[in-house]
Chain A
Amino acid sequence: MNDGVQSARWVTRLSLFLLLAPAVLWLSALILIPHLDLAVLSLRERIGPRQYSVSVAQYKTFFAEPLYWHIFVRTAIMSIVATGLTLLLAFPVAWIIAKVLSGRASSLLFVICLIPFWISETVRTLGWMILLRESGVLPHVLVLLGLTQQPIEMLYHDATILVGLVYTSLLFMVVPLVGSFESLDNSLIEAASDLGASSRAILTKIIIPHAAPGMTAGCIVVFMLTLGNYLTPTLLGGKNSQWFTEQIYTQFITRFNWEQGAALGFLLLALSTLLVWAGLKLSGQRFSDVMRRA
């Protein structure tokens, strides 16, 4: 009898272990181990051939070099702007999907938001380049319409980078917003209107407070994706993009300075964590509530 109970317990433990194993492996192999290694890398300095010592020199370089600082702040600001623009654009789209349209029309609009993601990010971004480059489609059309004398270069501007980032992020904002709006009882809107609320008051007092966790979740996801994006800013911004991930890439691949690259990577992680934390504090949201909506 006792043996039976013991072995049953053992089987339960084993199955639990097997169930958790992929998640544990995934977390440790792809996140924990590389980050530990990067942490060790970032905290050492090369003092001779194959000779290293523990030091914070890599971090010191970051604070001493204005270029790094400039790019760091610029990346953060551009990411915040891109997140804000994505929110502004996704809000009406999600509202139309969730509340205005129904059935087929609503699904169709949702699929239209999804379709760009069937294509790889590289191809999508190259598509933008085909449209916007000096010899591309849009400058040509502008000349044909007589709006410009000669083709203008539409690539390599901050605005171009923002367009690309917003386009890439839209779906990740629309999904949590649709979820938030769908859970909003229509009678709350009617009740507010009945009590004398204008459309503006309904938006600010009922819809936004209700959708706040979903909005925050969308903003966090979009912000993280944007901050860590490499392809879109590099291809659409060219030399002017000055994106922080580009600096990390340069250190690792071009300069072969893994120590500096690892330190910059950690600084980026710290930056995104800090900004997300600040965003949660400012909007008065709790991380656990927000993640349930994401």
Chain B
Amino acid sequence: MSLAAPLSSVHDLELRSLVKRFGAHTAVNQLSVAVSRGQFFSILGPSGCGKTTLLRMIAGFIAADSGDIEIGGLNMRDVAPNRRPVNMVFQQLALFPMMSVADNVAFGLARRGMARAERQHRAEAMLERVGLGGSGQKRVDEMSGGQRQRVAIARSLVLEPTLLLLDEPLGALDLKLREHMKVELKQLQAAFGTTFVYITHDQSEALVLSDQVAVMNQGRFEQVGTPQELYYSPKTPFVAGFVGNNNAVHGQVVAVDAHIVTVKSAFGWTVRGKSNAPVTVGREATVFIRPEAVVLARHAADLPTAWPAHQAVVESLLFDGANSAVLVKESSGQSLRLALPQTGAFADLRPGEALFFAFDPTQAVCFTTAHE
């Protein structure tokens, strides 16, 4: 079948105007996207955004109301899940407890009618590739969480699918193992070159693993781009708020200078940010300031002179090693979360201390609040 697919098709997955409704609720709303061959593509969104529905539609467990799904250039309309060139790694893994690890991996091959010797050989080779050589005869419940994860992936990849779907597969693991499996997943994907479609609500997983990320909200893709694009130039307020930590400052536009917009918040704080769309004075707007884009100083004179300086009082400290932050109240009364630098320069900071900070206005995105 794969030989019959047109050679020009470099998209392993293409969705066109896909719609799925459950009663009055539209779970997936006019989605279109194309995923190139060999990509690690993530769909990032809060729970209830429709990402699981979308994944299950691609796998074939849910039928679309309208629109098309093409996998490897072939239209998947009316193709049953067991006939699609797609395999899925389930959230709870769904390994078969009644079978050995090797039989789990060989299950799909057996369904294709492959001879026993050949499929055992292939299953063993696949287990070897995912670092589980010699574990074939173990029972599933004898494996650790990380090993089961690899069995689930091996069980799918042994079938050489066009597309591997992963439904929040790291969700059930503890933090340490999750960090470890992130690296492992990325290496596996690079080694096999299979196109991965990965859904998660964890932005760190999406940013670390992906070539492309689609941020999904209320059944739509807010933005599709590289992790860097999403982080540095979010296209919508939702993406700015969802990807990474962000301080949202709401207010009214008081001045516009080319792309740099000056916004006065409800507290009376004037901040400057960059807008990619034309803005007029008087509009409601939100400026997003990343905690890690801010430079801190104990004296105003130590701040970069090119950026406007702000003054604040420390409210509380959130020490978390490399992710340490400080909650401050800007002199107008606006609360902000600012990242502490890793140098240890502020290790002795105490609540109640005065602090100065500044940030590059071109690093703070500004969106007008949609109305009219």
- Known A187-B91, A190-B94, A197-B82; 11 more pairs at CB < 8 Å: A185-B94, A190-B81, A190-B88, A191-B88, A192-B96, A194-B86, A194-B87, A195-B87, A196-B112, A209-B98, A209-B99
The stretch from A7-15, A110-118, A198-206 touching chain B is: A198-206
- Closest CB of chain A to B71's CB: distance in Å? 13
Q: Please name all residues of chain A whose beta carbon is closer than 8 Å to the beta carbon of B86 when the two chains form the complex.
A: 194
A168-207 contact mask (Cβ, 8 Å, vs B): 1 or 0:
0000000000000000010110111111111001000110
Q: Establish whether residues A187 and B92, one from each chain, have CB atoms under 8 Å apart when the complex forms.
A: yes
A194-225 contact mask (Cβ, 8 Å, vs B): 1 or 0:
11111001000110011000000000000000
Q: Please name all residues of chain B whose beta carbon is closer than 8 Å to the beta carbon of A206 when the two chains form the complex.
A: 96, 98
Minimal Cβ-Cβ distance residue in A for B61: A190
Enumerate 16 A-B pairs (CB-CB under 8 Å) in ascending A order.
A187-B91, A187-B94, A188-B94, A188-B96, A191-B96, A192-B96, A192-B107, A193-B80, A194-B88, A195-B156, A196-B82, A196-B108, A201-B111, A205-B107, A206-B96, A209-B98
B151-179 contact mask (Cβ, 8 Å, vs A): 1 or 0:
00001100100000000000000000000
Q: Please name all residues of chain A whose beta carbon is closer than 8 Å to the beta carbon of B87 when the two chains form the complex.
A: 194-195
Q: Please name all residues of chain B whose beta carbon is closer than 8 Å to the beta carbon of A201 when the two chains form the complex.
A: 111
Q: Please name all residues of chain A whose beta carbon is closer than 8 Å to the beta carbon of B155 when the two chains form the complex.
A: 195
Q: Please name all residues of chain A whose beta carbon is closer than 8 Å to the beta carbon of B96 when the two chains form the complex.
A: 188, 191-192, 205-206
B47-85 contact mask (Cβ, 8 Å, vs A): 1 or 0:
000000000000101000000000000000000111100
Give the docked Cα–Cα distance between A196 and B79 (Å). Answer: 12
Chain B residues 85-121 with CB under 8 Å of chain A are 86-88, 90-92, 94-99, 107-108, 111-112
Give the docked Cα–Cα distance between A191 and B151 (Å). Answer: 13
Minimal Cβ-Cβ distance residue in B for A198: B82
Give the docked Cα–Cα distance between A212 and B75 (Å). Answer: 39
User: How many residues on A have C-beta within 8 angstroms of the other chain's C-beta atoms?
Assistant: 17
Residues of A within 8 A of B (CB): 185, 187-188, 190-198, 201, 205-206, 209-210
Give the docked Cα–Cα distance between A193 and B87 (Å). Answer: 10
A-B CB pair tally, cutoff 8 Å: 58
Give the docked Cα–Cα distance between A196 and B156 (Å). Answer: 10
Q: Establish whether residues B81 and A193, one from each chain, have CB atoms under 8 Å apart when the complex forms.
A: yes
Give the docked Cα–Cα distance between A293 and B143 (Å). Answer: 26
Give the docked Cα–Cα distance between A191 and B159 (Å). Answer: 13
Give the docked Cα–Cα distance between A187 and B81 (Å). Answer: 13
Q: Please name all residues of chain B whose beta carbon is closer than 8 Å to the beta carbon of A190 when the two chains form the complex.
A: 61, 81, 88, 90, 94
Q: Please name all residues of chain B whose beta carbon is closer than 8 Å to the beta carbon of A193 when the two chains form the complex.
A: 61, 80-82
- Closest CB of chain A to B161's CB: distance in Å? 10
Minimal Cβ-Cβ distance residue in B for A189: B94
Q: Which of A187, A190, A191, A195 has most chain B Cβ within 10 Å?
A: A195
Give the docked Cα–Cα distance between A42 and B95 (Å). Answer: 54
Q: Please name all residues of chain B whose beta carbon is closer than 8 Å to the beta carbon of A188 when the two chains form the complex.
A: 94, 96
Q: Please name all residues of chain B whose beta carbon is closer than 8 Å to the beta carbon of A210 when the two chains form the complex.
A: 97-98
Give the docked Cα–Cα distance between A206 and B104 (Å). Answer: 11
Q: Please name all residues of chain B whose beta carbon is closer than 8 Å to the beta carbon of A194 when the two chains form the complex.
A: 59, 81-82, 86-88
- Closest CB of chain B to A65's CB: distance in Å? 47
Give the docked Cα–Cα distance between A180 and B270 (Å). Answer: 65
Q: Establish whether residues A196 and B98, one from each chain, have CB atoms under 8 Å apart when the complex forms.
A: no
Give the docked Cα–Cα distance between A188 and B81 (Å). Answer: 14
- Closest CB of chain B to A202's CB: distance in Å? 9
Q: Establish whether residues A191 and B90, one from each chain, have CB atoms under 8 Å apart when the complex forms.
A: yes
Q: Establish whether residues B59 and A198, one from each chain, have CB atoms under 8 Å apart when the complex forms.
A: no
- Closest CB of chain B to A110's CB: distance in Å? 26
Q: Please name all residues of chain B whose beta carbon is closer than 8 Å to the beta carbon of A187 when the two chains form the complex.
A: 90-92, 94
Minimal Cβ-Cβ distance residue in A for B56: A190
Q: Establish whether residues A196 and B159, one from each chain, have CB atoms under 8 Å apart when the complex forms.
A: yes
- Closest CB of chain B to A190's CB: distance in Å? 6
Give the docked Cα–Cα distance between A188 and B152 (Å). Answer: 12
Give the docked Cα–Cα distance between A10 and B97 (Å). Answer: 47
Minimal Cβ-Cβ distance residue in A for B103: A205
- Closest CB of chain A to B177's CB: distance in Å? 21
Minimal Cβ-Cβ distance residue in B for A195: B108
- Closest CB of chain A to B15's CB: distance in Å? 19
Q: Please name all residues of chain B whose beta carbon is closer than 8 Å to the beta carbon of A192 when the two chains form the complex.
A: 96, 107
Q: Please name all residues of chain B whose beta carbon is closer than 8 Å to the beta carbon of A191 when the two chains form the complex.
A: 88, 90, 94-96
B116-160 contact mask (Cβ, 8 Å, vs A): 1 or 0:
000000000000000000000000000000000000000110010
